[in-house]
Amino acid sequence: MNFTLAHLSDVHLGPLPKGATFENFALKRVIGGLSWSLNRYKLHRPEIANVLRADIQATNPSHIAFTGDLVNIAAKAEFKQGLAWLKDFGSGDAISFTPGNHDAYVPVPWGSGIGQFSDYMSGDMRTDGAFPFVRLRRNIALIGLNSASRQNLFQAGGELGAEQRNRLTSVLRDLGERGFYRVVMIHHPPGIGLSHPMRALSDAAETQKILTDEGVELVLHGHNHVRSLNLLDGKGGKIPLIGVPSASMADATKHHVASWNRYEISRNKGQWQTQVSIRQWNPQTKTMVDGENFALPSRT
């Protein structure tokens, strides 16, 4: 039986709750709030995100991977609004969430910030830390990383850090030896040169080496707001790093319109096979429509 995995990212849920921009004053939050009010609200439309969410639900996937940036400026009211949106989407058991830089835009206590999404970030096996968390679904292992780290005023990068990278190495090796199809979920692209330096994962080189040394089956990310496929040479064959556009993106001039990916994962004659189907926003019909279909390289 095939395992079907849906992948979305960067919802940037609007509108901003009243008073969010000036809540617990932080200059970065104020600048982000003004940017939203002047421009970003035109790009990230909640009605598009809701149609995309319903489209995923209609396909009844085996699991859903959400690679971060549910909120915009990390205001407490945003996390409450985001949690309600997630609950309407599905249970914590059905959706795996990994934080993005906007979910950690400014420091917010765990319990009133990202911690409200804990049901969507809990694991099935001990990893000696909150991240990576690991969820086991049949012969599929979903590995959630946290690249959301504190950034300077005009930066949007991220970092895993040595401790999380060390745990990732151990987890990937263990799951690989046990024969799992390993899906790594992270907000920032974990490859060298895949984002502008001001927006990049600072330890991308170290993270990429872990992925190639251990031979991951699939890596899912967001952050860049464009559709992308990059292949790394690694243990067991080519390793696909796949990014999706913002799940609420209305503008097609500088970005790709909102879309999500569906992965059909199967095992055949000792090899993993993955078929990818893209569903994308159609501004004319205001619905999600079929996009490109393609197969990823088989892996042993």
Q: What share of the chain is helix, strand, coil (3-state, %, to 5)?
A: 30, 25, 40
Q: Domain 3-13+25-295, what fold? A: Purple Acid Phosphatase; chain A, domain 2 (3.60.21)
Its pTM stands at 0.96
The CA distance from 162 to 148, in Å, is 14
The CA distance from 242 to 227, in Å, is 8
Task: List 230's β-bridge partners, or say none.
Answer: 241
pLDDT tens for the chain, 300 residues: list them.
Answer: 699 999 999 999 999 998 888 887 789 999 998 999 999 999 999 999 999 999 999 999 999 999 999 999 999 999 999 999 999 999 999 999 999 999 999 999 999 999 999 999 999 876 666 899 999 998 999 999 999 988 888 889 999 999 999 999 999 999 999 999 999 999 999 999 999 999 999 999 999 999 999 999 999 999 999 999 999 999 989 999 999 999 999 987 888 999 999 999 999 888 999 999 999 999 999 999 999 999 999 888
The CA distance from 287 to 295, in Å, is 25
